[in-house]
Structure 1
Amino acid sequence: MSGLDSVTDEDWLGSWLMREAWRLLRWPLRLLGALSILLAGWLLWLVVAIQIDGGRHSTRNADVAIVLGAGVTRGEPSAAFDARIRHAVDLYKAGRVHRLLMTGTAFGREPAEALAGRDRAIALGVPPQAILIETQSWTTSMNFSEARKVMQANGAKTALVVTEPLHMMRSLRMARDLGMDVAGEPTPATFYQDWGSWYRFLRSEILLYHRYLAYGY
């Protein structure tokens, strides 16, 4: 065999191997591409849905405003929690709700979130008898399961959910999956204004939403 024949045979073999590799990988690569497009579309829809629910304020009235706990520091509600409490108080004073329902347990040596929320609402002018509390929950899903018990015990049937805008979609999904009649009332102000903090909170919400879909909490 001449040197020219050897080169030609090697070129043919290389070309054949490339064709066979493409034939074997063509459909897996196409499937991977299709799945990537579907995943990107799902994530885009989720981001848009989170933004829409976070910017939608209800026009309805309700029996209670459920205020989701958001941390207590040195006995005082965190800035995010305080914003939720103040918005709920505004709803009460505007006659949109008959009572407030504070949620959240204690962490460490701090008082329960619900108790700190109740004290802040009283300081803002809400009568103590207009405030319900539950102090057993430490996750968003538990906030609603415990709040539902309190509502049932007090004859309340409808609720406005008060929380951060980016937190609203997951919160409403959890409440409605429990059969609760709720609408969203996101806080007018958010503490995630800059791009970095907004992105981190949004990423967290996306991950937690998928955890809820997979595990139910």
Structure 2
Amino acid sequence: MKKKRKILSILGVLVALGLIYIGLLQFKISQYSDVEAPKNADYLIVLGASVRGTVPSLAFASRINAATKYLKENKDTVVIASGGKGPGEDISEAESIKIELVKQGISESRIILEDRSTDTYENIDYSKKLIPEDAKLGLVVTNTFHLYRAISIARDQGLDVQGLPAKTPLKALVKSYTREYLAITKFYLKRYILD
């Protein structure tokens, strides 16, 4: 009986620590998800997400729509469409961004393609090489749940960027946040322990 109580106590402590950790992650995410993006950025980096055939997922479409709105209001801003071609995708994520932006009235001449990356680290790394030489102010465009990690990765790679948050569709909330907690944990391990 004592052994059972001890195991339950340990489990209780672990669950409590887990909930505190998730609460802290959620606090960090929320600090980045309501930011007001500065006007007249020199460039945007739109981070890719899943494409079903040629159609962007709901979360991805939200990123593209946020970028479109910003680009229409800030006529001199160029956009780096970032994302390679993954399983089940008929076109690269970058190509999908370009198609949707052009459909919504953004000139092709403002769009730079980065179509090799397979994750957020590569999105930033490969996009960094395509930033116009004289550019200073940059924004990373992604969903609210992803912005904290994306900006942290960009800053770790020497980019002084801010965020342009795109809404996370209700349908994708639970799955997106669960995956993001794991991805942030992996990011912390890589940054503080494995390096």
- Native 8 Å contact 2:39 2:74 kept in 1: no
CA 36–97 in structure 1, closer or farther in 2 if over 3 Å, else same: farther
Residue aligned with 1:105, SS = coil
Aligned to 2:156: 177
1:190 matched to 2:172: no
The one-letter code of the counterpart of 1:176 is: R
Correspondent of 1:99 among 78, 93, 97: 78
1:122 aligns with 2:102: yes
Partner in structure 2 of residue 15 of structure 1:
none
Aligned partner letter, 1:214: L
Query: 1:56: which partner in 2?
Result: 35
Shift of the 41–72 alpha-carbon distance from structure 1 to 2, 3 Å rule, reads closer
Q: Which residue of 2 is the match for residue 215 of structure 1?
A: 190
1:66-94: CA deviations, max 9, x gaps? 11111222222222222211211111110
SS class of match (2:80): strand
Cα displacement (A) at 1:40 = 4.8
Cα pair distance change 1:82/1:37, threshold 3 Å: closer
**Residue 199 (structure 1) shift:** 3.2
Q: Among residues 117, 140, 154, which one is paired with 2:120 in the alignment?
A: 140
Match of 1:12 in 2: none
The answer to whether the 8 Å contact 1:91/1:97 transfers is no
C-alpha displacement of 1:198: 2.5
One of 84, 88, 93 as aligned partner of 2:63? 84
Q: Give % identity.
A: 27
Aligned to 1:163: 142
> Which is further off, 129-138 or 77-86?
77-86
* 1:97 Cα deviation after fit: 5.6
Report if the CA contact (8 A) 1:65-1:97 is conserved: no
Displacement after TM superposition at 1:42 (Å): 3.8
Summarize deviations over 1:152-173 as a string: whole Å, max 9, x none. Answer: x554332111111011111111
- One-letter amino acid of the counterpart of residue 93, structure 1: K
Q: Which one has more relative contact order, counting CA pairs under 8 Å at least 6 apart?
A: 2
Runs of 4+ residues over 3 Å off in structure 1: 35-43
Q: Which amino acid aligns with 2:52?
A: T
Question: Structure 2 length as normaliser, TM-score?
Answer: 0.82
| Equivalent in 205, 209, 214 of residue 180 of structure 2 | 205
**Cα gap change, 1:45/1:60 in structure 2, threshold over 3 Å: closer, same or farther?**
farther
* Paired positions, count: 185
Amino acid at match of 1:210: T
Matched, 1:74 2:31: no
Tell me how far apart the structure 2 counterparts of residues 107 and 82 of structure 1 sit (CA, whole Å): 17
> For the residues of structure 2 that align with 1:134 and 1:178, how far apart are their CA atoms?
17
Deviation at 1:57, TM superposition (A): 2.4
Compute the RMSD of aligned alpha carbons: 2.7
TM-score, reference length from structure 1? 0.74
- For structure 2, the 5+ residue unaligned runs are none
Distance 1:38 1:61, change over 3 A: farther
Kindly state the Cα deviation for residue 101 of structure 1 after the two structures are TM-superposed: 0.9
In structure 1, the gaps of 5 or more residues are 1-17, 19-24
